[in-house]
Amino acid sequence: MIIVSTKNSGSFTGDLLVVLVGQGEKMVVPKEKDSIFYSYLDRPMKLKDFSGKKGETYLVYPEPGLVCSRLLFVGVGEEKKDLETMRVCGGTVAQAITKLKVRHLGISFEFLDIDGAPAGERFTEGFLLGRYQFDRHKKADEDTQTKINKISFFPGSDVALFRQGIKRAECAAKIGIVARDMANEPGNFWTAADFGVFGAVLAQKYKVKTTILGKKECVRHNMGGLLAVNQGSTAEPRMVIVEYRCQNKKAPTLLLVGKGLTFDSGGISLKPGAGMEEMKYDMCGGAAVLAAMLGVAEEQPKHINVIAIVPATDNMPSGNAVKPGDVITCYNGKTVEVINTDAEGRLILADALAYGIETYRPDAVIDLATLTGAVIVGLGHHNTGLLSNDDALTAKVADAGKKCGEPVWRLPLGEEYTKQLKSPVADLKNVGGKDGGTITAAAFLQEFVAETPWVHLDIAGTAWGFTEKSYIPKGPSGTGARTLLELIRSWT
């Protein structure tokens, strides 16, 4: 339960009160000698142990009866208006209290002297994301955090606006967490069918429509890409479609497509064994897209229709598996020579993109996929690769990503790259040689979007092992979910 209090934090009687403080000139607390907290901050400040620098924390156990049982001073630094700074501070607090038995938490913005609502929103987002733990498959141990029952905010500014910000943050954090949870489930717990179940549950709980295409329907629709990748599997594929429509008849339609490859062994072009377990994360694009749909379903925006499609399967070797050299036919009729069965993501995305564009005639398409190892070589783990046929859409996505702490970096497309995909036996081959791997993968997808404004996000470097930050855990980051929600909220 989260409460935004109209009282001042001096009245707080819970387990721990977080007091956010700025740095230098912008520091308010220690100058106010009448502040109840002054006495606790004065000495560490004089001794220069605490100066309000970003990320600094200082825990005090005050005399019983004076204030609440614990005070945690947290430095916000000089750029306290920066949204990412506040998000990181939220995560820092989450990390600082992991081992403390805190059930009722207070958080004071009263001494920051800034517009509290946007700061509170980002702080809360960072805090909730920073609390994330995935322990469904193990017993509780010393790392298990105490459950917080209640959080009381002391905004020190407009309470109504602050409340709105907290609500937005709760939704944003929730979808990030949902995406992480899906990704964290191992391949034997999260199959193509589970993507279908997630979609079905969404449609039960909210005003969205879910359609699940099983293997038979995929065959009927000539979805040769998804079927080829699924050929070696003992589990059936799914094409999961979630539709959200607003009342406004003139509203634009955004199509989201996410790679839902629940385990990528490479198929007959088998991957090396070391680290192969990480390929359970090859469904992070699908997770981000469906998590974003959860956000859309909750917020029911009035200005935009959003459709999500997740092509889902694993990629396994077997006597039935697709082989190098095989020629397949995708949904839009294009034939593909499969050179490498490990370049499977583009095959399942090809069907989803072509089917989605033909069926829903969207004004814009965004796909998210852990598509190439090459994007990690190029951009490391700090930027998502963006490739697009549309500058305006690129600007929107880049802006949303920046606001959410999920930066993107654009790479080019062009005929020269498309040419690398020429096949002597089919319309296309599924790999374009070792050079420019991220670009040729996107150039392949481009063959299935035609002229529709489209952005492709290669999240192979950011979906897990993303830049170390207080609110981003070591495993899956949930990247993309919040960026998509931000993009949808601010769509014009």
Instruction: Give which of ligand BES, Zn ion, Mn ion, none residue 436 binds (C-beta under 5 to 8 Å, depending on kind).
Output: none
Residues that bind Mn ion (CB under 5 A): 264, 342, 344
Catalytically active residues, by annotation? 271, 346
Part in contact with Zn ion (CB under 5 A); list of ranges 157-165, 277-285, 397-405, 456-464: 277-285
The nearest distance, CB 172 to ligand BES, in angstroms, is: 25
Q: Which stretch binds Zn ion (CB under 5 A): 12-20, 95-103, 281-289, 321-329?
A: 281-289
Q: Which does 374 bind (CB under 5 to 8 A by kind): Zn ion, Mn ion, ligand BES, none?
A: ligand BES
194 binds, among Zn ion, ligand BES, Mn ion, none (CB under 5 to 8 A by kind): none
d(CA 190, CA 196): 10
Instruction: Report what 372 binds from Mn ion, Zn ion, ligand BES, none; CB cut-off 5-8 Å by kind.
Output: ligand BES
* Contact mark string toward Zn ion, 341..380, x via CB under 5 A: ----x-----------------------------------
> Between 264 and 351, whose beta carbon lies closer to ligand BES?
264
Site membership for Zn ion, residue 199 (CB under 5 A):
no
Walk across the sheet containing 428-429 and list its strands.
Answer: 327-329, 335-337, 428-429
Question: d(Cα 478, Cα 386) in Å, to the nearest integer?
Answer: 17
Closer to Zn ion by CB, 96 or 445: give it: 445
Q: In the complex with Mn ion, which residue's Cβ is closer, 246 or 376? A: 376
End-to-end CA separation in angstroms for the chain: 33
- Between 272 and 424, name the residue whose CB sits nearer to ligand BES: 272
Please select the residue that binds Zn ion; options are 56, 282, 314, 458, rule is CB under 5 A. 282
Written as six digits, the tokens of 121 are: 């929103």
Could you tell me the smallest distance in angstroms from the CB atom of residue 427 to ligand BES? 18
In angstroms, the Cα distances linking 313 to 187, 261, 344, 348 are: 10, 5, 10, 9
Site residues (vs Zn ion, CB under 5 A): 261, 264, 282, 345
